[in-house]
């Protein structure tokens, strides 16, 4: 790969700057010769009134803005490899899309600045590395750089590596905060649309966790029907089974749960009653486990992290059980005592035993001292359910 360092004035760089408000993208610069937002670039994420303002502040104070990298795509055409956020911030400022404070602390748009300040900004030279090489070389290299202090996350990297028509279409659907479905999806999915978290989830679900191979196989596809259909099936299924939307649903592994349970019939009304009962049960400490627990016909109580007995309770019950067992000449684990092997008379140490609910939590047994029994670890594990 060849690189060539040069300096470009802000006035040249932002000549003919076009910003697409709808997609939140800076599109072109250098009088049409520069593509600011190639497909593999992340969405513009600096429009927060802080990072974009900081870029302009730095420039007004004469601080360096860091290196910018272009990929040479033709005789005199380029695309931005690294620096898109900074260039878009500058372009948006020059086209009066946001204001910064001037030296008197007054909010000013570019047009409102005095002529000397305007000129200083326009004359600022930015250091640009022009790179030319094969697609593979450039993408490999792109994987190793970070952009202006915000490292690319995993999905942003994958979008770069597998750029093409499929990623373009997929981003239009899943990385677009103006998509009216995002509100509904956000009940079940964590993260930010513009950081590709929704796209990542959609790909994770349809690929059963093999995102890279799926993206590689579909890279040149001209439609995303399978991706969309599968994603919508999962969302529709969750929202049909669970008619109440709870905060704890967000970010659960809905793809896996859909695969395992979507063929099972549920009564949404009964499910809703069970969700409410388990949410108000003080012994259920992991509310996020409630949904999978119900989907699995309420068998796997481990999902709920049922409140455990505290140390003083365990010690009290241990002392009581052990004293009685010694008097009777049997094991202090009641299940060992009832057996007929060498452990029948064994006195276990406290550290060798675990507390168990005499009457299971799932059968309304409380986590209280009256319902506590110490078992040796083997018997406690074998008994299993809380």
The footprint of Zn ion (CB under 5 A) covers 333, 335-336, 376, 379
Residue 311: CB minimum distance to Zn ion, A:
21
Of 184, 181, 229, the C-alpha closest to 205 is: 229
Contact present, 373 and 334 (Cβ < 8 Å): yes
Q: Which is nearer to Zn ion, 33 or 320 (CB)?
A: 320
Structural element, H or E, at residue 82 = strand 78-82
Beta strands 25-29 and 18-20, pairing class: antiparallel
Residue 320: CB minimum distance to Zn ion, A:
17
Residue 356: CB minimum distance to Zn ion, A:
10
Cα pseudo-dihedral 253, 255, 258, 261, rounded to 10: -50
CA atoms within 13 A on the CB side of 259: 9
Report the distance separating Cα 184 and Cα 361, nearest Å.
Answer: 35
Report the distance separating Cα 12 and Cα 101, nearest Å.
Answer: 24
Report the distance separating Cα 11 and Cα 182, nearest Å.
Answer: 38
Q: Which is nearer to Zn ion, 195 or 379 (CB)?
A: 379
Contact present, 88 and 51 (Cβ < 8 Å): no
Residue 334: CB minimum distance to Zn ion, A:
8
Residue 358: CB minimum distance to Zn ion, A:
15
Residue 272: CB minimum distance to Zn ion, A:
41
Q: Which is nearer to Zn ion, 182 or 337 (CB)?
A: 337
Report the distance separating Cα 289 and Cα 286, nearest Å.
Answer: 6
Q: Which is nearer to Zn ion, 308 or 335 (CB)?
A: 335
Sign of CA dihedral 296, 298, 304, 310: negative
Q: Which is nearer to Zn ion, 196 or 332 (CB)?
A: 332
Q: Which is nearer to Zn ion, 99 or 335 (CB)?
A: 335
Residue 351: CB minimum distance to Zn ion, A:
14
Q: Which is nearer to Zn ion, 241 or 333 (CB)?
A: 333
Structure tokens at 380: 């406690």
Q: How many CB atoms neighbour CB 157 within 10 A? A: 19
């Amino acid at each position: 790969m060849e690189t060539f360092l040069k300096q470009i004035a802000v006035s040249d760089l932002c000549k003919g700057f076009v910003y697409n408000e709808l997609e939140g993208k800076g599109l072109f610069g250098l009088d049409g010769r520069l593509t600011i937002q190639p497909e593999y670039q992340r969405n513009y994420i600096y429009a927060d009134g802080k990072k974009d303002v900081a870029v302009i502040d730095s420039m007004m104070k004469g601080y360096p803005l860091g290196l910018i990298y272009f990929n040479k795509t033709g005789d005199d055409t380029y695309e931005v490899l690294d620096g898109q956020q900074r260039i878009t911030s500058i372009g948006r400022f020059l086209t009066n899309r946001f204001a910064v404070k001037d030296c008197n602390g007054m909010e000013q748009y570019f047009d409102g600045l005095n002529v000397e300040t305007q000129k200083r900004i326009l004359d600022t030279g930015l250091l640009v590395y022009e790179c030319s090489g094969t697609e593979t070389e450039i993408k490999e290299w792109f994987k190793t750089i970070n952009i202006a202090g915000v490292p690319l996350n995993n999905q942003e990297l994958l979008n770069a590596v597998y750029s093409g028509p499929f990623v373009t279409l997929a981003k239009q659907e899943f990385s677009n905060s103006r998509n009216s479905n995002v509100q509904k999806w956000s009940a079940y999915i964590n993260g930010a649309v513009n950081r590709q978290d929704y796209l990542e989830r959609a790909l994770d679900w349809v690929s059963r966790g093999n995102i890279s191979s799926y993206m590689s196989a579909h890279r040149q596809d001209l439609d995303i029907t399978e991706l969309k259909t599968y994603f919508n099936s999962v969302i529709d299924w969750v929202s049909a089974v669970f008619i109440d939307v709870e905060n704890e649903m967000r970010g659960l592994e809905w793809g896996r749960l859909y695969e395992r349970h979507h063929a099972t019939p549920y009564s949404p009304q009964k499910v809703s009653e069970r969700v409410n009962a388990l949410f108000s049960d003080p012994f259920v400490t992991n509310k996020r486990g409630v949904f999978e627990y119900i989907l699995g016909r309420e068998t796997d109580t481990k999902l709920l992290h049922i409140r455990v007995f505290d140390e003083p309770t365990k010690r009290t019950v241990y002392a009581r059980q052990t004293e009685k067992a010694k008097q009777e000449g049997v094991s202090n684990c009641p299940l060992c005592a009832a057996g007929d092997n060498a452990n029948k008379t064994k006195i276990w140490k406290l550290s060798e035993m675990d507390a168990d609910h005499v009457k299971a939590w799932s059968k309304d047994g409380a986590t209280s001292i009256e319902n506590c029994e110490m078992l040796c670890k083997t018997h406690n594990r074998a008994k299993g359910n809380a």
